[in-house]
Amino acid sequence: METIQKYRCETCGAQAEFEGAAPAVSDCCQGRWIVVEKLPACGMPASAEHSRFDTDDGPCDDGRSG
């Protein structure tokens, strides 16, 4: 069983999921499919009120970018 991967059309931005590899071109506008990479969820607090002083990590994806 192959895994399902999300793809985005490079030309128009349409998104689709395919099991295995995506077709060479999209049905919407004949653009090329590119893989949408999943970013890890942020484990750090979103506000300064809940932040920790001893954390020296950089920023990460908190899921609000869309």
Task: Write down the pTM of the prediction.
Answer: 0.51
Within a domain: 34: yes
Which residue range(s) make up the domain with 18? 4-38
pLDDT tens for each residue of 21-66: 888 888 888 889 988 876 566 666 666 666 666 666 666 666 676 6
Within a domain: 63: no
Domain count, the chain: 1
Instruction: Give residue 57's pLDDT.
Output: 62
Instruction: Give residue 20's pLDDT.
Output: 78
Give ∠ CA 2-36-40 in degrees, rounded to 5.
95
d(CA 66, CA 53): 28
Within a domain: 65: no
Provide the 8-state DSSP code for 12: T
Instruction: Give residue 1's pLDDT.
Output: 54
